Amino acid sequence: MAFLDEKTNNIVFNDKDKMSAWDNAPEISDADPKKYRVCMYCQFPMDYSDYVMNVKTKHSKDAWTIDLINIKKPKLVPKNFLAIHANCFGNRQNENEKRRLRKYRRTKWMMPKEGYKKSK
Ligand SMILES: [Zn+2]
């Protein structure tokens, strides 16, 4: 279970939290949901194998990490975890992104046409 490390002020996530965050991210209809999901903040794909737990750690520009869906009630529970790009961290629109995420999960996402390459 995730916990807040009060020394560093970072949330420490375990493998189960990682899986929950990934499973909460919108699926891409023409890609394997175990491998690719959509980052809600930029709407580009994330690759499951490219994970970083802490955004302050050195990571690739496409790496994904875990954010909280609702920071108004920042509960460290699986349904509040969401996979997003580490580089998109902080790009939320609302303190509570639950409604937006629900809408995005109903949206039909497709992989970019020229294969998976991001322009960030
Ligand atoms: Zn992103």
CA 87 to centroid of ligand 1, rounded, Å: 7
Whether 83 is covered by a domain: the verdict is yes
Whether 113 is covered by a domain: the verdict is no
CA 28 to centroid of ligand 1, rounded, Å: 14
Helix (H/G/I), strand (E/B), else coil: 106: helix
Domain extent for 12: 3-106
CA 68 to centroid of ligand 1, rounded, Å: 14
Strands, E assignment, the chain = 3-5, 10-12, 36-38, 45-47, 64-68, 81-85
Work out how many domains the chain is built from and give that number.
1
Whether 115 is covered by a domain: the verdict is no
Task: Using pLDDT thresholds of 50, 70 and 90, give the confidence band for residue 115.
Answer: low
pLDDT of residue 1: 86
Read off the pLDDT of residues 48-75 as tens digits, 9 standing for 90 and up: 999 999 898 999 999 999 999 999 999 9
CA 85 to centroid of ligand 1, rounded, Å: 4
Mean pLDDT lowest among 77-81, 100-104, 115-119: 115-119
Whether 22 is covered by a domain: the verdict is yes
CA 86 to centroid of ligand 1, rounded, Å: 7
Given a cut of 50, whether residue 18 has pLDDT beyond it is yes
Whether 117 is covered by a domain: the verdict is no
For the question of whether the overall pTM of this predicted structure is more than 0.85, the answer is yes
> Can you tell me the distance from the alpha carbon of 59 to that of 37, in angstroms, rounded to the nearest whole number?
18
* 110: nearest Cα among 22, 31, 26, 25: 31
Given a cut of 60, whether residue 20 has pLDDT beyond it is yes
Average pLDDT value for the chain: 93
Q: Give me the mean pLDDT over the 27-45 stretch.
A: 97
Whether 42 is covered by a domain: the verdict is yes
